[in-house]
Amino acid sequence: MADKPAQHIPVLGREAAEFLKVRDGGTYIDGTFGAGGYTRAILAAADSKVIGIDRDQSAIARGAGLVEEAGGRLTLVEDQFSNLEDVARECGVDAVDGVVLDLGVSSMQLDEAARGFSFRNDGPLDMRMGGTDVSAADLIAAASERDLASIIFILGEERHSRSVARAIVKAREEAPIITTRALADIVSRVVRSKPGDIHPATRTFQGLRIFINDELGELLAALTAAERVLKSGGRLAVVSFHSLEDRIVKSFLVERSQVGGGSRHQPETKRPAPTFSVLTKRPVVAGEEEVAKNPRARSAKLRAAERTEAPARDDAADDLLPRLPALRDVMKGR
């Protein structure tokens, strides 16, 4: 495996593999298989096994060659990474030595115009990663102006969300918005940018994509599933690409690693035993050389933690998620 050229170099891939402390005989979960970059790094590091998960059917199909190349050490499963514990059990594994998650949209998805993730290539306004029946076109056709503004503001962190939502509602009264270019043009008319700034539609596309795929809910569910399936001493490594993701990962690990509570002004509060020991007091970021080769690495942050002997907690930590209406309610137009 190590002698073969990697088809995809994942952001902070070397660092993530190092934090996992891959060992011979270990079993690891790559919860976001994508192009297989992290999986290749794990398989090359030791005589280990990997369970690769991806909700994107095309990613699983593209990985067939790597399955054959791995000689029985790789199993690929089409599923959402929030189900990683169940996937492991279905593969006959009760506990694993490591879990790696590479969050957000993949470069392959962005490059495929037919997937509708990017405004740079005109295509159908889709954005579905898999596992949902609602496309971006469906969402903006049905959602109220208020809900659109909330989604774009909270998940896209777009300051001009109300103006964008108003423009979308006005435009859809004249004709359905069904292509990425049509939506990008609408947003560009109300969000101005200066030379060197990101494209005016970047944040709107981000917000819609995250909402349709429930990416933050999936992330939190994956973190709690990892807590349940990791062995004592097992490692978790998560690479995020924007502040909403990183905030959830950081808050989860801080909450799960705290001992005791209170302050000199408050009585000590009894907490469950910590389930993780944080390995990255500050997130690991890409170096200048990696950023030069891959500009997307500029926003990447890697956080890692080691599982303790304490039993997994029962709470789902839902308070870490932003408050937004459910997709089914938004689709009713409320």
Residues 5-56 pLDDT 10s = 335 578 898 899 999 999 999 999 999 998 899 999 999 999 999 999 999 8
- DSSP letter string, 178-243: -BHHHHHHHHHTTS---TTSPPTTHHHHHHHHHHHTTHHHHHHHHHHHHHHHEEEEEEEEEEE-SH
Q: CA nearest 224: which of 90, 97, 320? A: 320
Average pLDDT over the chain, rounded to an integer: 89
Q: Which residues does residue 303 pair with via DSSP β-bridges, in sequence order?
A: 238
Domains and their CATH numbers in the chain: 13-107+216-320 (3.40.50.150), 133-212 (1.10.150.170)
Token pair in block for residue 177: 């918005």
Packed helices 215-229 and 243-257: angle between N→C axes, nearest 10 degrees:
30
Structure-model confidence comparison of residues 55 and 113, the more confident one:
55
Coil, strand or helix: which one is 89? helix
Asked if 136 and 270 count as a contact pair (C-beta separation under 8 A), the reply is no
Provide the 10 A C-beta neighbour count for residue 55: 23
Q: CA nearest 237: which of 295, 296, 284? A: 284
Distance linking the first and last C-alpha atoms of the chain: 53
Give me the sign of the Cα torsion angle 211, 214, 219, 220: positive
Q: What is the pTM of this model?
A: 0.89
Token pair in block for residue 154: 């909270």
Residues 139-191 pLDDT 10s = 999 999 999 999 999 999 999 999 999 999 999 999 999 999 999 999 999 99
Residues 65-112 pLDDT 10s = 999 999 999 999 999 999 999 999 999 999 999 999 999 765 555 545
Structure-model confidence comparison of residues 195 and 239, the more confident one:
239
CA–CA separation, 147 and 153 (whole Å)? 10
